Structures are given as structure tokens and as C-alpha cells.
Amino acid sequence: MSARMKSRLEVTGIYAVIAVMFIIIFYPLLWTFGLSLNEGTNLYSSSIIPKNLSFEHYIWLFTDPASNYVTWYKNTLIVAATVSIVATFFVALTAYSFSRYRFRGRKYGIYTFLILQMFPVLMGMVALYILLNTVGLLDSLLGLILIYLGGAIPMNAFLVKGYFDTIPKELDESARIDGAGHFSVLFKIMLPLAKPILAVVALFNFMTPFMDFLLPSIILRSEENFTLALGLFNFVNDQFSNNFTRFAAGSVLIAVPIATVYLLLQRWLISGLTSGATKG
């Protein structure tokens, strides 16, 4: 077999793999979007995109008094935005401390971050429930936010620390010679250079409240405090209202804020996704 023929076969194989992966990823999304435009509550349709398109489910989500979708959306945005901003800030502070300073317990602290990532979240659900119930934060968005923040710091701090380690320390030393303090070095030198990895951390922490069902289902009890994942589950869980079309419409709209944040951060995301945790 000639080298030219071998090269063509390799390219064909690559495109075939890409096509298969594209179908696997894109088909469920297209099917969900088509289902959201289907009339009634029927789960099945003769085609992916219905012939008689209807936006009744989208209108119902935002106008019907029986729908709490707007409240769920607001709750999720509050939790997601708060967790994303606060977690990114504290992760940056923690990672900077472990990357640039030498103090007693530093090595054990890093090991603790690694160990905490090995245990599944399910192991701590009962303890978290008891803790929030003790301090009176059960069935509240504040309690949910605090749990998300506590879980975001260990893994992300280790990731960002790896990125900070790649930034030459000579920059810190030059700034201190010019009279810069610790916070000046952090906010004027380190954070601007670490925008790619911080963008990744912010995006991932913003996405979590939209996707997570297990933790809100344990902490939240009142329907007015539900997040989107928990609220939409009721559309298909209730014995007398298995409405998959409304569930599909609500699911499609979840992509709007996530896509918006992604577009705002995309200039830093590409390099940030491949950085961090390479040196430690």
C-alpha cells in the first residue's frame, strides 16, 4: 500500500470517527428540541422535528400560574452566579497561597485536596443534611450555595495551583522590588495571567447548579426553593402529569445561560482547558 493511499485511509477513518461522535452528541439534542415543539404530551413523534410546530410548552412555562418555572430559573441563576463568582475568588486565593508561600502544613494541605477528590459526594450526603439542619439552613438556597462552595474549593484549588506554578516567580519578585504588596501581586500580576484557568473554573462552577439533581433533592423541600433540575423532574415524576414535552422545553432553555457564559469566556477557555495540574 502506497503512502498516499495509507494517508487517505487514515484521514477517512478520522472523519468517520468524528461523524459518529457528532451523531451521538447531536442526535439527542435535536430529538429533545423537536420533542419540545411537539403538541400535547406525547413522547413519540413520526419525525424528529414535528410537522406541526408548536411553542405552547414554552409559553406555558412562562405564563401559566401553575408553572413555577420562572421561580426555579431565578433560583438556579442566583445559586449558579454566586457559586461561580465566590468559588473562583476563594479558589484563586487558596491556590495562590499554596503556590507562592511556604508554611507549616502546606504539603499536608495539598495531599488533603487530593484525598478529598477521591471520595464520592454520596458519602457525605447524610452528614451534610444533619449539618444544615443543625444550623437552620436546610431547605434554603444559602445552604445549597455553601455546600457547593465547600465542594468546589479542593479540586479547583489544586487545578489552579498547577497553573500558578507555571508562572515565573521572577515576576513576583520584580513587583515586590517595586513596592507591590501581596494583594497587589495577586490582583495585578497573577490573576490577569491566570485568566484562562480561572475562566474554566468559573464556567464549571456555573454549570453545576443547572445540572445537579442529587444534592438539591436532599437539601431543598419547598417547591418555591427548587432549582431547575429538581423542578423539571416533577414534570416526568408525577403520576398524573408525565409531561415529557414540557420537560423537554424546560431542558432546552437551560442551555441559554450556560451558552451565554461560555461565549463570554470563550477567548480564555481554549487555553485554560489544557492548562493546570501539569506541574505541582
Phi-psi region of 120 (alpha: psi -120 to 50; beta: other; left: phi over 0): beta
The reported pLDDT for the residue numbered 276 is: 44
pLDDT at 144 over 70: yes
What is the rounded distance in angstroms from the CA atom of residue 65 to the CA atom of residue 52?
26
280 belongs to a structural domain: no
Supply the pLDDT for residue 43: 66
Please tell me whether residues 109 and 151 are part of one structural domain.
yes
pLDDT at 52 over 80: no
Q: Which of 15, 33, 58 is the last residue of a domain?
A: 58
The DSSP result for 3-63, as a single string, is HHHHHHHHHHHHHHHHHHHHHHHHHHHHHHHHHHTSSTT-S--SSSS-SS---HHHHHHHH
* pLDDT(274) > 70: no
The domain boundary residue, chosen from 15, 38, 58: 58
Whether 213 is covered by a domain: the verdict is yes
Tally helices (H) and strands (E) across the chain.
Answer: 13, 0
Residue 180: exposed, middle, or buried by beta-carbon count in 10 A (0-12, 13-18, 19+)? Answer: middle
Nearest-angstrom CA–CA distance, 135 and 115: 27
Q: What is the mean pLDDT of residues 239-253?
A: 79
The CATH number linked to 202 is 1.10.3720.10
Instruction: Say yes or no to pLDDT of 38 above 90.
Output: no
- Looking at the structure, do residues 44 and 164 belong to the same domain, yes or no? no
Q: Using the 3D structure, point to which of 12, 30, 58 is the last residue of a domain.
A: 58
Q: CA 243, CA 126: separation in Å to the nearest integer?
A: 32
Query: Which DSSP helix (H) or strand (E) runs through 174?
Result: helix 169-177
| Cβ atoms < 10 Å from Cβ of 152 | 21
Give the Cα separation of 41 and 244 in Å (integer).
6
Q: In terms of domains, do 7 and 102 share one?
A: no
**Same domain (yes/no): 27, 127:** no
115: cell is 484525598
Mean pLDDT of the residues in the chain: 84
Answer yes or no: is pLDDT of 280 > 70.
no
Is 220 part of a structural domain of the chain? yes
The pLDDT tens digits for 101-118 are: 888 888 888 888 778 777
Chain segment 39-51, per-residue pLDDT in tens: 776 666 666 777 7
Mean pLDDT in residue range 46-75: 84
What's this model's pTM, rounded to 2 decimal places?
0.84
The CA-based angle 215-221-224, given to 5 degrees, is 105
Model confidence at 173, in pLDDT bands (50, 70, 90)? confident
Phi, psi of 36, deg, nearest 5: -70, -20
Domain match, 27 and 107 both: no
Domain with 34 in it: 3-58
Mean pLDDT to the nearest integer, 46-62: 81
Co-location of 93 and 232 in the same domain: yes
Supply the pLDDT for residue 201: 92
> Is 261 found in the same domain as 139?
yes
Q: What's the pLDDT at 145? A: 94
Identify the DSSP state of 65. Answer: T
Q: What type of residue sits at position 16?
A: A
Question: Any idea which of 7-21, 26-40, 90-104 has the lowest mean pLDDT?
Answer: 26-40
For the chain, how many structural domains are there in total? 2
Within a domain: residue 171? Answer: yes
Confirm if 46 and 179 have CB atoms less than 8 A apart. Answer: no
Give CA–CA dist 159/178, Å, rounded. 30
pLDDT at 238: 64
